[in-house]
Structure 1
Amino acid sequence: MIKVIAIGDLHAEFPKLWRALKASYAADEQLMPTRPVREGDYRVILMGDLMHPKTLAEYRKLTGLEDYDPSNSQHLRLAAKAQIRELYRIKRYQEAAPDQVSILMGNHDHAVLTGSYVLGNKYLEHHEFHPEYGGLELPEDLKAWLEGFPHEVNIFGVNFAHVGPVPWLQSYDDMFYNSREPKEWWFTNPDYVTRMGYRFGVYGHTAMKDGILVKDQLALIDALDRDQYLEMLLDEDLLEWRISEVPQPGSLA
């Protein structure tokens, strides 16, 4: 039996990541894997989208700039540097237990890695890793690290993927971005999970404004901004889950 700590889309909420990992005894005070992680009793899965804060308010928090302007190249570079610094911390953690810590390839990670798409919405676009907009290029060693992110992980018949269990939901191309299915498949075609041969699936990508949703054979856990992550106990016959709360700052012993 193993314990799985699955944390939804990060979007640069780095302090919450570490509070969640510490609370689940998956990270120590030095932000390194604990013994249960290193020895394989625990598995840590980050659902991807490590970069790009979701809101302008989160960019202000990240950079410390109350007047953060996504069209200001100096501000973009500050945002990029802040994320790069934290990505190196996550890289160090993951590489200390590479078989027990998995980071899934999210569409935002893929976009930064390839430079193929500028992501965002009508309120906010993410330009900090686009030099053509005044941002910074991601360092080559971080690019090489991102290239190793899997699109899915399977543990005891449970599928973990950023968006969904079928190949076309794991390919971040024009069809992906022009389709409604990446945000709606879990509602319209939840049987994708069992049709692919899995007994359960855990996914991110679709923001859960009311917190983690567990529905039939799947869980949608893009709810770190709602201070939630998922813990599971798994073996060949066992499948138990619980929704855990990220401790507030200063509340960890």
Structure 2
Amino acid sequence: MRKFLAFGDVHADFDTLWAALRAASCADANGQPTPPVQAGLYQVVLIGDLVHPKNDREYSRLTGLPRFDPRNPDHLFLAAREQVKHLERLRDYQLAAPHAVHIILGNHDDAVLNTTFVLGTSGGLVHTEFDPDHGGILLPDHLKLWMQAFPRELRVGNVQFAHVSPLPAHSHYDDLFYADRSPKRWFRETPEYVQMAGLGFGVYGHTQIEDGILLDETHGLAMIDAMHAREYLEIMLNPEQPEPLISVRAVPF
């Protein structure tokens, strides 16, 4: 039996991520994997979107600027520099236990690797700190190589961890993905997608859940973009069984 600890979209809120990892006994005070993680008894899953703060206030908090201006190259440089610093620390953590720390590729991570699309928010904020064509800088090569290796899903028997949904089309972040409204709505409008995909349970992010983790046991899914609500997901699995799921619960920290 193994414990899987799944953490929702980070969006550059690394302080909260590290607090969650420490609360879950997955990281020590020095940001290194704990003995249960090193032994593989605890499996850490980050559901994607490591980069791009969610709003102006979070950009200001990250950079230390009283008012972040996404059109100012100096501000973009500060936002990129701070994220690079935190990404390097997270990379060290993952490389210390690659058998037990899994990071799913989110669409914001993909947008940093492939700057075809300029992502933004409904409030008009755009994420261009890693886009040289819009005043930003390139992600350093060693971090780019690391992120390019992120999988688009993790499967343990019939349990899936993916960034958006069980649909294969939702794991490729192209113009069809961004033109489609279903990535943000599927779990409410068509939650049966999980069972139609032959899954026993699915864990997803991408859509922020205001009140904390949404656990839909009827349809076998959890939506965990809920770091702002200070919750992570704990799942007990027996990988040796065809239906490995034993228990699932949202954990406050």
Mark the runs of 5 or more structure 2 residues left unpaired by the alignment.
Answer: none
How do 1:62-211 and structure 2 match up within 5 A? Answer: 62-121=62-121, 122-211=123-212
Counterpart of 1:52 in structure 2 is 52
> Which amino acid counterpart does residue 119 of structure 2 have in structure 1?
L
Q: Structure 2 length normalisation: TM-score? A: 0.95
Q: 1:67 Cα deviation (Å)?
A: 1.9
Q: Report the Cα distance in structure 2 between the residues aligned to 1:192 and 1:3, rounded to whole angstroms.
A: 25
> Which amino acid counterpart does residue 239 of structure 1 have in structure 2?
I
Aligned partner (choices 230, 240, 250) of residue 243 of structure 1: 250
Q: Report the Cα distance in structure 1 between the residues aligned to 2:206 and 2:89, rounded to whole angstroms.
A: 23
Give the number of equivalent residue pairs: 246
Counterpart of 2:43 in structure 1 is 43
Mark the runs of 5 or more structure 1 residues left unpaired by the alignment.
Answer: 247-253
Alignment of 1:230 onto 2:222: no
Which structure 1 residue ranges, 4+ long, deviate > 6 Å from structure 2?
A: none
Q: Report the Cα distance in structure 1 between the residues aligned to 2:91 and 2:178, rounded to whole angstroms.
A: 28
Q: Report the Cα distance in structure 2 between the residues aligned to 1:161 and 1:175, rounded to whole angstroms.
A: 18
CA deviation string 1:195-241 (max 9, x = no partner): 22110000000110111101121000001011111111111354212
Q: Structure 1 length normalisation: TM-score? A: 0.95
Alignment of 1:219 onto 2:222: yes
Q: Report the Cα distance in structure 1 between the residues aligned to 2:113 and 2:95, rounded to whole angstroms.
A: 19
Check whether the contact 2:27–2:34 (CA below 8 A) recurs between aligned residues: yes
Q: Report the Cα distance in structure 2 between the residues aligned to 1:17 and 1:162, rounded to whole angstroms.
A: 17
Q: Report the Cα distance in structure 1 between the residues aligned to 2:215 and 2:190, rounded to whole angstroms.
A: 15
Check whether the contact 2:43–2:100 (CA below 8 A) recurs between aligned residues: yes
Check whether the contact 2:167–2:193 (CA below 8 A) recurs between aligned residues: yes
Check whether the contact 2:235–2:245 (CA below 8 A) recurs between aligned residues: no
Check whether the contact 1:156–1:234 (CA below 8 A) recurs between aligned residues: no
Q: Report the Cα distance in structure 1 between the residues aligned to 2:68 and 2:174, rounded to whole angstroms.
A: 30
Counterpart of 1:250 in structure 2 is none
Residues 32 and 173 (structure 1), Cα distance of their counterparts in 2 relative to 1, 3 Å cut: same
CA deviation string 1:53-93 (max 9, x = no partner): 00100001000001211111100000000000000001000
Q: CA RMSD in A?
A: 1.0
Q: Percent identity?
A: 49
Check whether the contact 1:49–1:108 (CA below 8 A) recurs between aligned residues: yes
**1:182 counterpart SS class:** helix
Q: Report the Cα distance in structure 1 between the residues aligned to 2:139 and 2:31, rounded to whole angstroms.
A: 23
Alignment of 1:25 onto 2:32: no
Q: Report the Cα distance in structure 2 between the residues aligned to 1:179 and 1:238, rounded to whole angstroms.
A: 31
